[in-house]
Amino acid sequence: MRRVVVVGSGSLARAVCHSTAVVADRPVTVTVVGRDAARCAEVAYVAGARATLSGTPARFRSAAVALDDDAELAALIADREPDAVLHCASVQSPWESVSAPSGWTALVAEAGFGVTAPLHALLAGRVAGAVRRSGVPARFLNACFPDAVNPILAGRGLPIDAGLGNVALLTASLRAARGLAPADRLRVLAHHVHLYPPAGPGEEALAWTDDGPVADVTGGLAGQRACRRAELNAVTGHTAALLLRDWRPGAVVHTNLPGPNGLPGGYPVRVTDDGITLDLPPGWDRARAITWNTRAGEREGIRVDAERVRFAGPATVALRPHLPGLAEGFPIAEVESVAARLLDLRAGLRAEPARTRTGQAVDRLGGIRSGPPV
């Protein structure tokens, strides 16, 4: 790809740019876009310096744009004419449970990560809308909870090619644990929930090599699951940079991506000029894989249907005292107004201590101490 726009200036956007700077093997110009001009310029400077020192043909520049102004962002996209737009910005920080635990992070721990989907979908939807409004045929890749957000975008009729991270990160971890070379085929079926240890062996991610199923997936993911989440963005960013490098005219890329074409969860895929198609192992068809990922998402408290977001299990219980009208879910078309209500709830709960509704303390990863983090 010759031109890329990266939306965001946080740790994942930095990781994507830092890795692109050293893996690029053909000319590419990356524009880092966000609200904070100084931070975007900083990301572009560091990535540019890395590219120069590495002798790669990658160039970086920056632009400050109000991400809630889709007209301004659409104009920038039309001006830069990118081949791909990578969205890495959200109004909900994934590190809040560590940096600022509160009643809000306790609610998320109790409800499941799925309850934050409308917050992650807020900016992703506006950027996707700006891509459509620009008229530029850019690929749109969303890194903000794509396992649930991408189906929401698709349900709103917005462009979405795939996500970044999650199943791609799990794939990288399994490759490293098994000593697989880049050319070795590895298919992985996994959801965001699989970033954490499963409650039982029947709830683990699934993986296949050319020779058949991969044994002891849990053991292969142990190193990743022991890492602090902030550190893992360096790996996620590298997987995104490699995808950008390899997704070129005439190439066929076999990889694993979350939310391809707006599907829930993550899948083995085949990436070509014509787009992204599923590349499932023998015995698996599209319907079976979607059902498997949908059930995995319900363990995080969310299910996204064609026109409705449904909260499930603990999410319904946790939301009912605060937002009873949303406890069962909402129409996809109302996601922005739902996000506004969740932001109001968050503002109030941030003033409360980080204890769950049942009084359980919350650990540093945002999980209830009696169980795994969510």
What's the average pLDDT block by block, 10 residues per block, for the chain (374 residues)? 93 98 98 97 98 98 92 96 97 87 95 97 97 97 98 98 98 96 94 95 94 94 93 96 95 97 98 96 97 97 96 94 96 98 97 66 36 29
Q: Write the pLDDT tens digit of every residue in 174-232.
A: 999 999 998 899 999 999 999 999 998 899 999 999 879 999 999 999 999 999 888 99
Q: Indicate the pTM of the whole model.
A: 0.93
Phi, psi of 311 (to 5 degrees): -85, 145
- Amino acid identity, position 332: I
Closest CA to 5 of 122, 89, 95: 89
Q: Write the pLDDT tens digit of every residue in 247-281.
A: 999 999 999 999 999 999 999 999 999 999 999 99
Closest CA to 164 of 184, 145, 186: 145
- Amino acid identity, position 19: S
**Residues forming a β-bridge with 310:** 303, 329
Order of strands, sheet of 186-189, starting from the edge strand that comes earlier in the sequence: 186-189, 206-209, 212-213
